[in-house]
Each structure stands twice: as C-alpha cells, then as structure tokens.
Amino acid sequence: MTKTSEAVRNHLLEQIDETDAIQLEKVDRYEALLESFEEMTRLINEAGTSIVVKNGGQEYLKANPLIGERNKVSAQMLSIEKSLNLSGTKTDELL
C-alpha cells in the first residue's frame, strides 16, 4: 500500500458507513484500482506514451496500450466514487 493509497483509503473510510459491507468492499476495490492506476502511470512514464513495435523486419511506433487501460481504470474509479456519493468531494484533491 502506497502512502497515497493509504491516505485515500482513510479519507474514503471517513466518508462512508463502515458498518455497510458493500461500501467497505467498494473502498477495497477503489484502493486496488488506485494501486493499478499508479503502477500503470509509472510504467507509462518509464516506457513513454509511444512504444516501438517490431513485427518481423518492420518497426513502427504505436500508442502505449497502457494509456487506454489506465483510462478504463480511471473510469471505474469514478464510477465507484459516484456510487459512494463522493463526486465533488475532496477525493479528487488527494490524487
């Protein structure tokens, strides 16, 4: 667990009913998605937004596929925020 994900988890736990198992599961899922998002960001920063693809004797540049996957993870995170009624809270400021 990174320092950021721990801070986000604590913030989310302050915002929900901790006796509600469904909300707790959503916080766990959000935290896992956040860690994936951070890892994808790190890998994109290392490899760049474009990658070289070698196909036989050909080489060409294409967009890093992790960018699209990171966007999907971000959408899932936003969906969880909305389902927890967190839109417009300080959650966005923690990221």
pLDDT by residue for the chain (95 residues), tens only, comes to: 778 888 999 999 999 999 999 999 999 999 999 999 999 999 999 999 999 999 999 999 999 999 999 999 999 999 999 999 885 555 455 55
Predicted confidence at residue 45, as pLDDT, reads 97
CA dihedral 27→28→30→34, nearest 10 degrees, is 130
Q: Domain extents for the chain?
A: 3-84
Predicted confidence at residue 5, as pLDDT, reads 84
Residue 12 in tokens: 């989310």
DSSP string, 2-51: -HHHHHHHHHHHHHS-TT-HHHHHHHHHHHHHHHHHHHHHHHHHHH-SEE
Could you give the CA distance from residue 58 to residue 93 in angstroms, rounded to a whole number? 44
CA dihedral 28→69→5→7, nearest 10 degrees, is -100
pTM (two decimals) = 0.82
Predicted confidence at residue 94, as pLDDT, reads 53
